Structure 1
Amino acid sequence: MRLVIIGAGFAGMYSALSAARLREIHGVSPEELEITLVAPEPTLVIRPRLYEPKPETLTAPLVDVLKAIDVTYVQGSAETIETKSRTVRIATAKGTRKTLTYDRLVVATGSRLFRPNIPGLAEHGFSVDSLDDAIALDKHLQGLAKRPAVDGRDTVVVTGGGFTGIEAATEMPSRLRKIFGDKAKPRVIIVDRNLAIAPDMGETSRPVIEDALKKLGIETWLGAGVASLDESGITLSNGEHIETETVIWAAGIRAAPLTQQIPSERDNFGRLLVDRHLRVPGVDGVFATGDAARAACDDDGNYALMSCQHATRMGAFAGNNAAAELLGVPTKPYHQKGYVTCLDLGEAGALFTRGWEREVTMVGDVAKKTKQEINTVWIYPPKAERAAALALADPERVTDVTGFL
């Protein structure tokens, strides 16, 4: 029997850990139930930290962890999924093609930044969506100091006033001062078509965020979208033009395109609709998890968000349930009633909220310490010690990535 997991993000990693855990509990050998993880690189990209400087350091190796739990790693990119024949076609790192058959499949392919067809965006826009994108932005920022201090060189425009946009923007003043010097006065602007900053963060959180932006001197241009980008800067839908050499696009994400190959329903974000056990209805043998799945967290109408907080626990349930079907044991319904947010606000600290209503429980330096612990400890892979790694993957014990629930 073979269980194939596509993706080495938070959901894919925990799918592998959880499946291996259940296999061991039932005394089944790796030869009897092969667990295979497919990904371009055997590393976990710490995507929630890509707004920080030195993004090339924000990865964690998975090879030793996978070896410790007897999970086979296949290096390559899944190109085609044939659900009728239960095969996955892979483009390997060596430029060849390889086909894997599966008895159960976990689609943990994550998400991608949504880049609309805006003139100049592809040529002149940066992002912190992927490791390569974040490295390209960091290299660009480092190179600004060699350019003349004219034509908006010291101005950074972040398009999107949501979670990612705010974290990228609030980190930017300190990053730019390190590049230009302590006496520099960089200009950072958040542009959003909504009439309020952080539209999804709730009324209680917004004053904290607005106060932080004010302290950092970050401007907010609201109620206007982006019309175009060019070498001189960015033009908004209301006709205003901002001179800048740096535009960071942070306006939404969509499920990775591979999910389109699964013949099932999807939501507006491209996520596969799944049942409470994370199966894809009507497609035998296929589970979806993390940013690739729209899953109910509870019976109150709350659905998992496209975040590592939900992907971690969803991954544990998906891997467990895919393995459970092969082992002939009961599956477990995914549930995740607890929810927190911890928003980095750069030198202004951070904001920690609890619950879907986002009740503010910590702000400033205290919340910042929590954010740093999340970013440097909680979201990293376990050590390559078999017993300890498998123990962490019990889906009923995997909370959110913060470990605070």
Structure 2
Amino acid sequence: MSKRILVIGAGFAGMWSALSAARLLDLHGSTDVEITLVAPDPHLHVRPRLYEEGPANFRAPLTAIFDAAGVKFVQGTVERIHVDRRAVDVLRVDQHAVTLDYDRLVLAAGSRLFRPAIPGLAEHTFSVDQTDEAVELETHIRNLARQPDTPARNTVVVAGGGFTGIETAAEMPARLRAALGEQADVKVIVVERGAAIGPDLGAGPRPVIEEALRELGVTWQLGSGVASVDAGGITTADGQRIESSTVIWTAGLRASTLTGQIPGQRDTTGRLRVDRNLAVEGVPGVYATGDVACAATDDAGNHTMMSCQHAMNLGRSAGHNVAADLLGIEPIPYSQPKYVTCLDLGPWGAVYTEGWEREVKLKGADAKKLKHQINSEWIYPPRADREAAFAAADPLRIVVA
């Protein structure tokens, strides 16, 4: 009787989980295990690029790759996970409800931008979190020229001075001038409630970030977050008013709400705590990976970030280990001791760091060249060739040397 590995999600972690599981099954000549992946769209949405211009173009088709690897794709949305009977309720794209049984489950449902209950935030802010949201922002910017020339029209507020906020802010001056004209008096303001820009990035790259933003004409206000948003701008927690027709919310992520249907322990962002093999602690047969997993990256106390860098290797490891579990062979514990960052700083360039201390190794044009290679090559799926896909899905493959 055949068995089933069920993967939920077709992001970086989900895609690589399916391919890595297929690779191991192929290596062992196993023909009695079906790999099924469920997701709303048969494309990899290249989310790390959505701050760039042209976000509608940042997606890669997956159907041919899955066909080549022998992965069955079900287009739909998971509505309920029943761990007690190892089944998942799915609403297919044709609105037909089906229940899929599984022997092993890999939850790779990703994350969403966290939108707290701030008055007006839901109605009056944009984001670059999902493709449709980034497209909506791009359309809005292009249409700004139709509005009267006012300080509000010419001002973009980026709420949140973290990784995404900085990358988004660095792009905005050039995009505003492209829409409004080179002589427009544009302003881009980052509002960060912390005491420093890029609080999670640490002190290492901060001088480079500040230098780049200053040269781009981006300013920042620290120590007070957004208290309310309306059609004309924002009011900060300390009572300051900033008039703006374009407020972009970038402050924080939360794991998919599907994690709440798994009876495991979670961290403050909703991620499931997993062991070194990425199995959910205390829940037999269930693995978590990517942005829904809180996993140790090494033996020094570091844990995964909600990032493409970690999601890709987490996916390779989860897929391998879930298949190894079914085959009864030894897993390969997840390990990713080398941590790097490459932060895009718009036309100025970029900054590349290594280590959890984020020691700057490259900046400016040299780092920008690396960032372009990462964004346009390294994070995209392999070609739709079985051998190439399996080679790329090896959990021991070194991506960052």
What TM-score, normalized to structure 2?
A: 0.98
What does residue 2 of structure 1 align with?
Answer: 4
What does residue 319 of structure 1 align with?
Answer: 319
What does residue 51 of structure 1 align with?
Answer: 51
The 8 Å contact of residues 338 and 400 in structure 2, kept in 1 or not, is answered as no
After TM superposition, the structure 1 = structure 2 runs for residues 89-128 of structure 1, keeping only pairs within 5 Å, are: 89-128=89-128
For the residue of structure 2 that corresponds to 1:126, the secondary structure is coil
CA offsets 1:82-135 (integer angstroms, 9 cap, x no match): 001000100111112111000000000000101000000000011101111111
Aligned-residue offset at 1:147 = 1.0
Aligned-residue offset at 1:183 = 2.3
What does residue 343 of structure 2 align with?
Answer: 343
Aligned-residue offset at 1:304 = 0.7
What does residue 30 of structure 2 align with?
Answer: 28
Percent sequence identity over aligned pairs: 57
The 8 Å contact of residues 20 and 394 in structure 2, kept in 1 or not, is answered as yes
Q: Distance in 1 between matches of 2:393 and 2:151?
A: 52
What TM-score, normalized to structure 1?
A: 0.97
What does residue 166 of structure 2 align with?
Answer: 166
What does residue 301 of structure 1 align with?
Answer: 301
What does residue 12 of structure 1 align with?
Answer: 14
What does residue 360 of structure 1 align with?
Answer: 360
**Code of the aligned partner of 2:14:** G
Q: Distance in 1 between matches of 2:75 and 2:343?
A: 34
The 8 Å contact of residues 159 and 251 in structure 2, kept in 1 or not, is answered as yes
After TM superposition, the structure 1 = structure 2 runs for residues 167-316 of structure 1, keeping only pairs within 5 Å, are: 167-316=167-316
The 8 Å contact of residues 53 and 138 in structure 1, kept in 2 or not, is answered as yes
Q: After TM superposition, where is structure 1 displaced by more than 3 Å over at least 4 residues in a row?
A: none
What does residue 382 of structure 1 align with?
Answer: 382
Aligned-residue offset at 1:182 = 2.2
CA offsets 1:249-290 (integer angstroms, 9 cap, x no match): 010001011111001110001000000000011111000000
For the residue of structure 2 that corresponds to 1:8, the secondary structure is coil
For the residue of structure 2 that corresponds to 1:326, the secondary structure is helix
**Code of the aligned partner of 1:367:** A
The 8 Å contact of residues 204 and 360 in structure 1, kept in 2 or not, is answered as yes
Aligned-residue offset at 1:232 = 1.3
Q: Distance in 1 between matches of 2:106 and 2:183?
A: 52
**Code of the aligned partner of 1:160:** G
What does residue 152 of structure 1 align with?
Answer: 152
The 8 Å contact of residues 159 and 191 in structure 2, kept in 1 or not, is answered as yes
**Code of the aligned partner of 1:205:** P
Q: Distance in 2 between matches of 1:151 and 1:165?
A: 21
The 8 Å contact of residues 78 and 91 in structure 1, kept in 2 or not, is answered as yes
CA offsets 1:358-386 (integer angstroms, 9 cap, x no match): 01000000000000000000000000011
The 8 Å contact of residues 158 and 248 in structure 2, kept in 1 or not, is answered as yes
For the residue of structure 2 that corresponds to 1:373, the secondary structure is helix
Q: Distance in 2 between matches of 1:232 and 1:242?
A: 8
Q: Distance in 1 between matches of 2:193 and 2:373?
A: 33
Q: Which moved more, 1:241-250 or 1:324-333?
A: 324-333
**Code of the aligned partner of 1:338:** K
1:72 paired with 2:48, answer no
For the residue of structure 2 that corresponds to 1:200, the secondary structure is helix
Aligned-residue offset at 1:404 = 3.7
Q: Distance in 1 between matches of 2:54 and 2:214?
A: 26
Q: Distance in 2 between matches of 1:151 and 1:299?
A: 51
**Code of the aligned partner of 1:8:** A
For the residue of structure 2 that corresponds to 1:353, the secondary structure is strand
The 8 Å contact of residues 151 and 232 in structure 1, kept in 2 or not, is answered as no
**Code of the aligned partner of 1:396:** L
Q: Distance in 2 between matches of 1:243 and 1:133?
A: 22
Q: Distance in 1 between matches of 2:389 and 2:182?
A: 44
For the residue of structure 1 that corresponds to 2:146, the secondary structure is coil
Q: Distance in 2 between matches of 1:13 and 1:351?
A: 28
**Code of the aligned partner of 2:114:** F
Q: Distance in 2 between matches of 1:153 and 1:182?
A: 15
Q: Distance in 2 between matches of 1:162 and 1:250?
A: 8
The 8 Å contact of residues 152 and 244 in structure 1, kept in 2 or not, is answered as yes
Q: Distance in 1 between matches of 2:12 and 2:173?
A: 30
Q: Distance in 2 between matches of 1:137 and 1:96?
A: 33
* Residue correspondences, number: 399
Instruction: Could you tell me which runs of 5 or more consecutive residues in structure 1 were left unpaired when the two chains were aligned.
Output: none
The 8 Å contact of residues 272 and 293 in structure 1, kept in 2 or not, is answered as yes
CA RMSD, aligned part only? 0.8
Q: Distance in 2 between matches of 1:380 and 1:173?
A: 28
Aligned-residue offset at 1:3 = 0.2
Aligned-residue offset at 1:151 = 4.9
